[in-house]
Structure 1
C-alpha cells in the first residue's frame, strides 16, 4: 500500500527500532511508496512512511532492494556532497563514503554482508542515516 510521506522532523529524528519478521508488510508498503515516487526518489527508510523500524528500500542499479536492520561495518573513500530528501525541503551538505560494506538481513531475515560503491552506496548511507535519526 502506498503511504503518505512523513514530514514531521521530530518523528524523523528518532532512532529506529530493530525490525522483525512481523514487519515484512512494512517493507512491502515501503517498496510500493518508493515506486510511486520513482521520478523524484531513489531510496526510502521506514520512518519516511511513519513507521519507526530499521528498514530501508532503494534502487540498486535498476532493481529495488530491501534491507532489514542495516548497519555499515566498513567505509572508505570520503567525499563531500549535497543531498535532498522527499521528507524535507531543500538540500543539505553532507559527507559520504565511496564504498560501504553493509551487514543486513534479507526478506527471509538471513544475515548478509555486501559491499556497495558509488551512487548505490550514497543512497544506502542516506537511508541508514534516517534509521539513526539523522536529518539529512
Structure 2
C-alpha cells in the first residue's frame, strides 16, 4: 500500500524485480492514507490482500516488502524446524541472501527484524 501503480502505467515498472526495489526507487516507506484517500479499514484489507497474494505465490520474496515478509517467515519457521532442518534452512537462506539486493540484506539488521535471525548465526544448532 506504499505505492499505487495504475494499470495503464504497469509497463513503466518492468525494470524492477521486487517490491523492495520499487520502494527503494520511489523513496516511499510508509502508507499515506490521505494521498490514497482510504480509511484505516481499507488499509487493513489492502494489507490482507497483499499477504494473500504473497502466500498464493509461494511466499515469493519479491512480492511483499521484506520488512514484513521476513518477520512473518521467521515466526512461521520457529515452531516448524527441527535442528537438522534449521541447519538446512540456514544454508539455503544464506545462499538466497547473497543473491538479494542491499535493501533486503540490510533489513536483516533493522529494527523490525532485530534478533529474529539469531538461530541462523549460531552454526551449532
Question: What is the TM-score with the length of structure 2 in the denominator?
Answer: 0.30
Which structure shows the higher strand fraction?
A: 1
If you compute each CA radius of gyration, which structure gives the higher value, 1 or 2?
2
Which structure shows the higher helix fraction?
A: 2
